[in-house]
């Protein structure tokens, strides 16, 4: 009733090759799922934050990760610091990377040509009636 050693050794290598691949397959699938659900979105989020930090300019209203909300008064490009006004005549210096969000960017005032177009709209009924484009 015992299995001879020669028979047991001959059967083991044939089943071991395919069995090893099947045992690694779940680990590979877990890595692929982690990559697409965790790693890629985090990299995209970091890239968007880096672009937001690089595009900060004077007049932007920001919120820092510490909860300070204020308006940028001065951007120091070499130092990596920002001077932020958090109340009238109260300015603090914050590190650029601590900016969590830009709350609202100031919109430049439209020029005289753009005011007429925005008042009635470029293709509005009044412009068509008056013959303006």
Cβ(44)–Cβ(38) under 8 Å?
Answer: no
Residue 43, pLDDT score: 94
This prediction's pTM? 0.57
Residue 2, pLDDT score: 67
- Once rounded to an integer, what is the mean pLDDT over residues 85-104? 93
Domain 56-104 has CATH 2.30.30.30: yes
Residue 127, pLDDT score: 67
pLDDT surpassing 80 at residue 130: no
pLDDT surpassing 80 at residue 4: no
CA atoms lying within 13 Å on the CB side of residue 43 = 7
Q: Grade residue 46 by pLDDT with cuts at 50, 70 and 90.
A: very high
């Amino acid at each position: 009733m015992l299995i001879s050693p020669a028979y047991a050794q001959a059967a083991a290598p044939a089943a071991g090759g395919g069995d090893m691949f099947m045992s690694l397959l779940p680990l590979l699938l877990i890595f692929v799922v982690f990559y697409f659900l965790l790693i890629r979105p985090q990299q995209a989020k970091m890239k968007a934050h880096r672009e937001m930090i690089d595009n900060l300019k004077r007049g932007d209203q920001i919120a820092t990760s510490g909860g300070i909300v204020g308006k940028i008064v001065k951007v120091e490009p070499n130092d990596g610091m920002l001077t932020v006004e958090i109340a009238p005549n109260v300015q603090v210096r914050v590190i650029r990377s601590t900016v969590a969000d830009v709350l609202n960017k100031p919109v430049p005032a439209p020029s005289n040509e753009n005011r007429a177009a925005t008042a009635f709209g470029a293709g509005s009924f009044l412009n068509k009636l008056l013959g303006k484009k």
